[in-house]
Amino acid sequence: MTTTPISPIDLFSAALHIHPNGDVKAAERRMTSNESGAWQLATFHVETDVDVHADHWEMHPQAEEAVCCLTGGVRLYFRHARPDDTEDMVQLQPGTAVIVPRGRWHRLELDAPSDLMSITLRHGTRLEKRTDTR
């Protein structure tokens, strides 16, 4: 049995890594691959679209992602499946979440400064610069 110190963890500066064996550890937040096989629970305070990398698409090939709006407001866009399609959009208000399907390209834009939480397996996560910016 491992002994984890019982103390508060600042979720705005660290992430929780939830390992397949049941261990939960505070660790550095990672936006891309995490080779440990751990799911990452990360919380972010964001002020502008730059803070959420609105100019990039993101995709998680290994698992779904829960994107949760704790305060503020955010729009989550899903890349169109075919060139003639439009983007799908889900608007999140405080206390709501959306589950991003595994392998689905997505991006965020803010309606207001917000506190967001994401939970996913980051292994294989890919980022791609948007070429369709307005």
Domains of the chain in start order, with CATH, are: 15-129 (2.60.120.10)
Cβ atoms of residues 88 and 77 within 8 Å: yes
Contact 75, 91 (CB under 8 A): yes
Identify the pLDDT of residue 33.
Answer: 62
Q: Check the CA dihedral 85-74-43-22 and report its sign.
A: negative
pLDDT at position 86 is 81
- Give the pLDDT confidence score for residue 80 in this predicted structure: 82
Strands 65-78 and 126-129: unpaired
Q: What angle do CA 51, 73, 41 make, to 5 degrees?
A: 60
User: Which regions in the chain score pLDDT beneath 50?
Assistant: none
Instruction: Please compute, for residue 27, the number of CA atoms within 13 A of its CA located in the half-sphere on the CB side.
Output: 15
**pLDDT single digits (tens) 84-117:** 778 899 999 999 999 999 999 999 999 999 999 9
As a whole number of angstroms, the distance between CA 23 and CA 38 comes to 9
